[in-house]
Amino acid sequence: MAIAIVGGGLTGLASAVFLVKNGVPSSEIVIFERDNRLGGKVETAVFGERPVDLGPDAFLTRTDDAPGFASQIGIGDRIIRPSVFSASIYANHRLHKVPSGIMLGVPVNFKEFLSSASMISIPGKIRAAADFILPKSQLGDDYTVSDLVGNRFGREVEEMLVEPMLGGINAGSTKDLGIEAVAPMIKSAYKKSQSRSLARNLVAATPKSNSSTSPQVPFGSFANGLSELIEASIRYLDGVTIHVGVDVAEIIHDNLGVRIQTSNGDEHHFDRVIVASPSFTAHQVLQNISPNTKEGLRSIDFASVGVVLLRYRRDLIKGPLTGSGVLVPKSNNFLMTATTYASRKWSHIASDDFEIFKVSVGRYRDRRFVEMSDDEIVETVSRELEMVLKINGSPDLTSIRRWDRALPQFRPYHREMVGSIRRSIEDNHMVAIAGASYDGVGIPSCISSARSAADRTLSWSN
């Protein structure tokens, strides 16, 4: 059975891995990637003689998706953990420790929250405590994060904590993001309980740990960066045909199965296809397969983001570098949205002489950096970073990676829309869709989406 995979990012490569794992001969799999490199948003570069990720730099290990996949491709024993795992928030012109007693920015232990949330004013804390007395929120089947969290805890908690933490994962706004797609555990905890308080409901829904030892940091990576996932996947897929720099123009049903036309005029015939490219390219290649899903696929918005790497001599930094980085709420009107102290977070890139900072720029509806030159971005980010961390001097090494339409924005009822799109596209049991556009951002979500697509594809042949 000949199977094509459109998209050579992590989702596409993982789809191929799961197909091979389940018995499909590697010689029957072909991957098409429009870029000249594989890996999608997973990319590691050498910066100051050290491997630094230009996209995500870690994966969650609370589920076995990423660790299990790493073991499958032979690098499970190479997983490392961050040296430090905590963050600060820059608000009111100074750094504050992320308060304790919160979950994704949402207060759950009010005693701890009230005593440690130094960035929240006294009126803001009083407003947050209204969660205990406000009537039970009556909401529909899906709604924005702001509709629930903002209304129960108030503007300050939403803007200072929830938006930079939960919204930051998607480079989006709590006023736009659907809670079912980005925080289903919060929605589920509130909906299942009769208690009016969201804080109390979240406490009741949180599993109690029986361990007396300190919990393990729930993130992992590799000493040579996350690109190890890509490189190991390619090694595992020995015998798979991989075309890079080849753009798929259209996928067409015909009497022989599925025909793929590439932009260079070539045609290829397959029995099954997995489309693992973003929705904004998938809608073009799937027009013949399912014309009525075009508008749904096009309706998924994306945020463009950028990563700025800066290296400073340690003696120039006067402010404290506590934890792994700093989050920057929108109220600061900074270009940067967050900064990772990369050489503190990861011991394998630490230096006695320098600090490496990985600065994120861009969020949904904030495209200022898109119109700026690289020099302008570096100048602006350096000025902001020097203000936050009290740096007396300039970086001696910089680098910029721009990611156009990088992070999908999941609106309310996103899952229902994707379900409808998926049913329409996959109705003929020949073409499956997978990837972050549909099933969530982050490495575990991409791997899970790939596994599910491979399983569906194989089930159609049984």
CATH (domain of 136): 1.10.3110.10
**Each residue's pLDDT tens digit, 422-451:** 999 999 899 999 999 999 999 999 999 999
pTM: 0.95
Neighbours of 261 (CB within 10 A): 16
Range 283-309 burial, b when 16+ CB lie within 10 A, else e: bbbbeebbeebeebbeebbbbbbbbbb
Whether residue 402 contacts residue 166, with contact meaning beta carbons closer than 8 Å, is answered with: no
Q: What is the CATH number of the domain that holds 439?
A: 3.50.50.60
Residues 307, 399 within the same domain: yes
Amino acid 76: pLDDT: 97
Q: Provide mean pLDDT across the span 125-135.
A: 96
Residues 343, 292 within the same domain: no
Any domain includes 219:
no
Nearest to 227 by CA among 33, 37, 29, 31: 37
Residues 129, 186 within the same domain: yes
- How far is it, in rounded angstroms, from Cα 217 to Cα 307? 24
Whether residue 196 contacts residue 134, with contact meaning beta carbons closer than 8 Å, is answered with: yes
Give residue 255's pLDDT band: very low, low, confident or very high (50, 70, 90).
confident
Q: Provide mean pLDDT across the span 290-307.
A: 95
pLDDT at 214 over 90: no
For 36-40, 126-130, 209-213, 305-309, which range has the lowest pLDDT when averaged over its residues?
209-213
Residues 120, 201 within the same domain: yes
Number of domains in the chain: 3
Give residue 221's pLDDT band: very low, low, confident or very high (50, 70, 90).
very high
Any domain includes 317:
yes
Any domain includes 92:
no
Amino acid 387: pLDDT: 96
Residues 392, 441 within the same domain: no
Amino acid 145: pLDDT: 96
pLDDT at 416 over 60: yes
Max CA pair span of the chain = 70
Residues 120, 174 within the same domain: yes
Residues 264, 137 within the same domain: no
Whether residue 446 contacts residue 229, with contact meaning beta carbons closer than 8 Å, is answered with: no
Q: Which residues are registered as beta bridge partners of 140?
A: none
Nearest to 26 by CA among 213, 173, 233: 233
Any domain includes 220:
no
pLDDT at 189 over 80: yes
Residues 314, 366 within the same domain: yes
Give residue 192's pLDDT band: very low, low, confident or very high (50, 70, 90).
confident
Give residue 208's pLDDT band: very low, low, confident or very high (50, 70, 90).
low
Residues 105, 195 within the same domain: yes
Helices vs strands, H then E, count in the chain: 19, 22
Residues 268, 404 within the same domain: no
Residues 137, 154 within the same domain: yes
Residues 291, 307 within the same domain: no
pLDDT at 51 over 80: yes
List the domain range (segments joined by +) for residue 435.
3-40+63-75+226-300+410-459
Give residue 215's pLDDT band: very low, low, confident or very high (50, 70, 90).
low
Any domain includes 215:
no
